[in-house]
Chains A and B, each alone.
Chain A
Amino acid sequence: AQSVAQPEDQVNVAEGNPLTVKCTYSVSGNPYLFWYVQYPNRGLQFLLKYITGDNLVKGSYGFEAEFNKSQTSFHLKKPSALVSDSALYFCAVRDRRSGTYKYIFGTGTRLKVLA
């Protein structure tokens, strides 16, 4: 079965330190990969996506993600965390095959950046 795993329910990091939020997936073929962020009582906002090409993808608010095909991972990273980065982060994948319209979301990782 296709699935997305975010193994950490919560990640704590000190302001100014680098952060990593992990995501692994089990989807046949080469899926499209996405990261979204959700602030309290709001919808999700798009951060970045991997389609093809360079394994390091840069996105909004200084975030980037590294695609690793052999490990089927797509970890979200930021070199220096801000308190305002504290939010809920979701990894999502979508099958490249035509006619498959479902995005599969992970369960989310709550990031807490401590001042």
Chain B
Amino acid sequence: DGGITQSPKYLFRKEGQNVTLSCEQNLNHDAMYWYRQDPGQGLRLIYYSQIVNDFQKGDIAEGYSVSREKKESFPLTVTSAQKNPTAFYLCASSIGQANEKLFFGSGTQLSVL
């Protein structure tokens, strides 16, 4: 089945630790996105990538980093600089045209120990 796979489903971070969230898609989509979801705040864009080896900061990129070395993969690293990382993280992809819908993964819940 085609789709987007996020792992792990639950992740715990210790203070000062970097953690990486995985996002893989087999939809052959060019564009990939990372969103952060907090209760009552909707979805906020962290980073997006329109093509391999290129990515752009979203609205809340501070404390996060990404890479796009392969079309299928767009991992997100939550660094120790992100002081409030507890949230639900969603990865999405699309074919890249403005009128096209987003396909979402099932999310990763990150919590701080």
Contact = CB atoms under 8 A, between A and B. Distances in A.
Given A41-B107, A101-B31, A102-B48, A107 B42 contact: yes
Interface string B26-48: 00000101010000111101001
A13 to B, nearest CB: 21
A43 to B, nearest CB: 3
A101 B42 contact: no
A42 B106 contact: yes
A103 B103 CA distance: 12
Interface string B80-95: 0000000000101000
A58 interface: no
Interface residues of B, number: 26
A101 B107 CA distance: 21
Contacts of A14: none
A95 interface: yes
A45 B43 contact: no
A100 B41 CA distance: 22
Interface in B85-113: 90, 92, 98-99, 101-107, 109
A9 B41 CA distance: 11
Interface in B47-67: 48, 50, 56, 58
Closest 10 CB pairs of A and B: A43-B104, A107-B42, A105-B43, A46-B101, A44-B104, A105-B42, A32-B99, A43-B106, A51-B99, A43-B105
Interface of B: 4, 6, 31, 33, 35, 40-43, 45, 48, 50, 56, 58, 90, 92, 98-99, 101-107, 109
12 contacts: A9-B40, A41-B109, A42-B106, A42-B107, A44-B104, A45-B104, A49-B99, A49-B101, A94-B98, A101-B56, A106-B42, A107-B40
Interface of A: 9, 32, 34, 36, 41-46, 49, 51, 90, 92, 94-96, 98, 100-103, 105-108
